[in-house]
Structure 1
Amino acid sequence: MSTLEIKDLHVSIVTDQGVKAILKGVTLTINTGETHAIMGPNGSGKSTLAATIAGHPRYTVDSGSITLDGEDVLAMSVDQRARAGLFLAMQYPVEIPGVTMTNFLRTAKTAIDGEAPKLRTWTKDVKAAMAQLRIEPEFAERNVNEGFSGGEKKRHEILQLELLNPKFAILDETDSGLDVDALKVVSEGVNRTIEAGGLGTMLITHYTRILRYIKPDFVHVFVDGAIAEQGGPELADRLEAEGYDRFQVEETATA
C-alpha cells in the first residue's frame, strides 16, 4: 500500500491585487485503493489543491507538506512527481500541435517506466484501451487534443490514466462538459484502473452525478480553502439534497 499525505497545507498565488491565500490548512491522507471525492462551491480551492500536488509553478506553498510514501513531493520536479506515481487529469486539457497521440503516449510511458514498452504488446494495449473508451482508431494519429471535443479530450485523459497506471490519480472535474453516455464511458475507465491496480483516487467535482458511477469511500467538502466537513458516501447524498448554502452561511457567520 502507498500513501499520499497532505498536512496543514497553506498555498497562495500572486494576483493583480497582491498575494492571495487559497488553501488555508488542508490535511488529507489517501491510500492506494481508496477513492476520495473532493466537493465544494466554485473558488473553494479544489483545483488549487490538484495543481499544487502536480507542481504547477503558479502556486506557492507557504507552509505544510505533501509526502508520497514518506518522500517529500514538494522537493520533486513535475516529471519526478509523475515518475513517483502521481497523475493529474486536467480540468481543461491542452492541445499539443505537432505531437500525435501515438507518439505522446509512448513517450510518456517510456519516461514513466524508464524504458520503452515492447512495441507489439504496447500497440495491443493502446488499441484495447481506446476501444473500451470508444475512441476511434484514427485518433491515434491525430495531434494531442487538437480539434477534439470536450468529451474526446476527457476520454484521452482517462486513456493516459489506464496506460500509465499511476499510484494516485487526481481527477480535476473530469465530469465537466460530459453528456451521460460519455460520463459512463469515462467512469468505467477510471473504475477499471482502480480495480486493476488499487489506484488511489482524488476525484474533484461540483456535482454528485459522477459519484453514481465512481463510488467514493470518503467525501470532503471544501469551503474557503479548508475542509469544512468530511464523511462517507452519504455526505454526497446530503449535498445533492441541500447544496452548499449551509456552508456559505456558516462561512459568513464566522467571517
Structure 2
Amino acid sequence: MTELNVIDLKASVQGTEILKGVNLTVKSGEIHALMGPNGAGKSTLGYVLIGHPDYKVTSGRIILDGKDITGAAPEERARLGLFLAFQNPVSIPGVKISTFLRTAYNQMHPDEKLSLKDFFNLVKSNMESVGLNESFISRSVNDGFSGGERKRFEILQMLVLRPKIVILDEIDSGLDIDALKQVSSHIQREYNEGIGFIIITHYQRILKDIRPEFVHVLMNGRIVMNGDKNLSDKIETEGYDWLKEVA
C-alpha cells in the first residue's frame, strides 16, 4: 500500500509564507477532497508536493512510502508515483504528445518494455475514452488546445502513466457537464484500482459524482477542519464564513 505523509509542512513563494503547517496522510484507494476559498494555499500545496522549483519548503517533511522526498527533484517524485494534474496546464510547442507520453512512461516504468505499437495502442484507447480525437497524438502538448481539451489531456496522462497518488488541481474547471461526468468516471475507475487521490476544489461540483471519504478545509495556509462528505455538503450550502473563527 502506498502512503503519502505531509508533516507540519511550511512553504513560501517569493519569500511569502503560504503554507503554515499542513498535516495530511493519503493512502492507496482513498479519495481526499481539499477545499477552501481563493488564496487559501490549495494549489500551492499541490505544487510543493510535486516539487515545483518556485515553491520553497521552509520546514516540515514530505514522506512517500517511507522515503523522505522533501528535497527530491520533480522527476524523482514522478518515478516514485506522484502525479499532479495542473489547474492551468501549459503548452509545450514542438513537443509531440506521442513523444511526451512515451518519455514519461519509460521514466516511470523502466522495467516495463512495451513495444512502440503496444504503447501507441495503449495511448489511443485511452484517448478515445477521455474524448480526445486520435489525431491529437501527433499534435504538440496543449498547443492550441481549448481549456477542456487541456483538462482531458491531464486525465489521459493519469490513465497512461498509472501513478500511485494523484493530485487533481481544480480538474473540473473548464469542463462542461458531460465532460465532467466522463472525468469523474475515470477517477472512480482508478480509485477502484487502488490509486489514492487528492482532489483540490473550491466547490461541490466535482464531488457530486465522486464521494470522498475524507474532506479537508484549508484556510490561511493550514487545514482547519477535517470531515467526510457531510462537510463538503455544508460548505456548498453555507460557504466558508462559518469557518473563519477556527482558521
TM-score of the aligned structures, taking structure 1 as reference length:
0.93
Question: Would the aligned equivalents of 1:31 and 1:200 in 2 still touch at CA under 8 Å?
Answer: yes
Match runs of 1:108-187 below 5 Å: 108-114=104-110, 116-187=113-184
Question: How far apart are residue 6 of structure 1 and its match?
Answer: 0.5
Do residues 211 (structure 1) and 201 (structure 2) align? no
User: How far 1:56 sits from its partner (Å)?
Assistant: 0.8
Aligned residues: 246
Aligned to 1:222: 218
Q: 1:129 aligns to what SS in structure 2?
A: helix
The answer as to whether partners of 2:9 and 2:60 remain within 8 angstroms in 1 is yes
What is the CA distance between 1:228 and its match in structure 2?
A: 1.1
Residue 123 of structure 1, CA deviation: 2.0
> How far did 1:87 drift?
0.4
- The alpha carbon displacement at 1:204 in A equals 0.1
Report how far residue 45 of structure 1 moved.
0.6
SS in structure 1 at match of 2:244:
helix
**Aligned letter for 2:76?**
Q
1:195-241 deviation per Cα after TM superposition (whole angstroms, max 9, x unaligned): 23x00100000010100122211000011000111101111111101
Letter in 2 for 1:130: M
Greater shift after overlay, 179-188 or 219-228? Answer: 179-188
Task: Report if the CA contact (8 A) 1:129-1:159 is conserved.
Answer: yes
Q: Which runs of 4+ in 1 moved over 4 A?
A: none
Aligned counterpart for 2:232 among listed residues 226, 229, 236: 236
Partner of 1:41: 37
Kept in 1, the 8 Å contact 2:224–2:246? The answer is no
C-alpha distance in 2 between matches for 1:157 and 1:117: 22
Rounded to whole Å, the distance in 2 between the matches of 1:8 and 1:249 is 21
Is the 8 Å Cα contact of residues 109 and 117 (structure 1) preserved in structure 2?
Answer: no
**Are the equivalent residues in 2 in contact too, given 1:97–1:143 (CA < 8 A)?**
yes
Aligned to 2:6: 6
Are 1:202 and 2:179 matched, yes or no? no
Instruction: State the Cα distance separating 1:170 from its structure 2 match.
Output: 0.6
CA-atom RMSD in angstroms: 1.2
Kindly indicate whether the alpha-carbon contact (under 8 Å) linking 1:169 and 1:202 is maintained by their aligned counterparts in 2: yes
In structure 1, distance between residues paired with 2:179 and 2:48: 28
Identity %: 50
Q: Is the 8 A contact 1:95 1:146 kept in 2?
A: yes
1:245 corresponds in structure 2 to 241
